[in-house]
Amino acid sequence: MSSPTPLAGIKVVEFTHMVMGPTVGHILGGLGAEIVRVEPIGGDRTRRLLGSGAGYFPMYNRGKQSICLDLKSEEGIAVAKDLIAKADVLVENFRPGALDRLGLDYDSCSKGNPGLVYASEKGFLPGPYEKRTALDEVAQMMGGLAYMTGQPGKPTRAGASVIDVTGGMFGVIGILAALEERHRTGKGQKITASLFETTIYLVGQHMAQYAVTGTPAAPMPARVSAWAVYDVFETRDEPVFIGVVTDALWEKFCKLFGLDDLWANENWRENNARVLARDEIIPQIRALIGTMTAAEVIAKLDGSGLPFAPIGKPEDMFDDPHLNEGGLEDVTLDDGTPVRLPTIPLEMDGKRIGAPQQLPQPGADAHAVLQALGYKTAKIDALIEQGAVGGKQ
């Protein structure tokens, strides 16, 4: 069954690096758009990151074409402008003013292509901070997410690039809205998404909590939960998360685990009363769960309607039976290694997004991309020889 391609025919040119910008192109490409990734001569340095950055490029750049340009040369800039002139969407996430200094700002690009949707992924929207350089971690620290994630007094960034990725998702939302508006007006526009404001949107629930209660939100490890039973419980081997989020589920939970004494207390039949009595309730539940294995706990909970989860690790996900029913797609890394990586988490018209993908070699698509623009082979070879375009003659 072929994957849905609702954005087929949409041409995107990408001037991006790291995570936030490439996420935009990856999502648009997964939905069927044609993505041409502009890299510096020799390839984007993101390809060569170590440690926690080693997965950035393969996760967010598969299924794209690559062309390497020397944007410090007139010839390289001319090629970039030709790419932009034929594009529906431009995506960039370099520091403020970087493309402007090259003459690739929105006003300049839209003169020759008034239908262009120009998407900038930045650290901040307009305001006192807009010229600052930001990273995912900077935004998490500034915006309160690290404070909410860590133990009190120990701010801790979330365990994935959640702001980069979510900021990229907001960029996609803006692009899709701008394309829809273009259908009515024929005109493109510039849209901007940002790391800092994305963080604030995510912590907005805690801001609203303060507005409603007058009490500052405590970091998640120290919070007073909205539910009495909403914890990670140690078993004889592996921990398990269990949530009891309704009064009906409280009854079911007590009966499943033989907690007759807890159910017998009619004062605890309502959730808020159980929240106030957590210090009495939770030790009894921990004692019982601690006598069981994780498999025994999960066997009782599976199919019950009660929220539960084993504590998974990223490397466990490759073998997850649910994900292997369509949540992972085949990817060939740039060294030829076959792997399976997460698809875009959508189903459209009964079909999952995702198809076998390859990572683009630096500049490998130069001839194909430029020939599609109408360049003759001799001119492409001359640009490569001059060093304005990276690739093989």
- State whether the Cα torsion 65-71-75-77 is positive or negative: positive
Q: How far apart are the first and last CA of the chain?
A: 38
Q: Distance (Å, rounded) from C-alpha 117 to C-alpha 17?
A: 19
Catalytic residue among 164, 231, 334, 365: 164
Alpha-carbon distance values, 291 to 151, 284, 296, 301 (Å): 28, 12, 10, 16
DSSP string, 102-131: GT-SHHHHHHH-TT-EEEEEES--SSTTTT
How many residues in the chain? 393
How crowded is the C-beta side of 15, counted as CA atoms within 13 Å? 25
Q: 122, 192 in Cβ contact below 8 A?
A: yes
Strand partners, 230: 243
Is 164 in the active site? yes
DSSP letter, residue 316: G
Cα 11 to chain centroid, rounded? 21
Quickly list H helices, the chain.
20-30, 56-60, 74-85, 106-112, 136-143, 145-149, 162-185, 195-202, 204-213, 247-256, 260-264, 271-276, 278-289, 294-301, 366-372, 377-386
Q: 191, 178 in Cβ contact below 8 A?
A: yes
Q: Which residues fall within 8 angstroms of residue 116, CB to CB, at 6 or more apart? A: 84, 87, 88, 89, 90, 106, 109, 110, 188
Residues known to be catalytic? 164
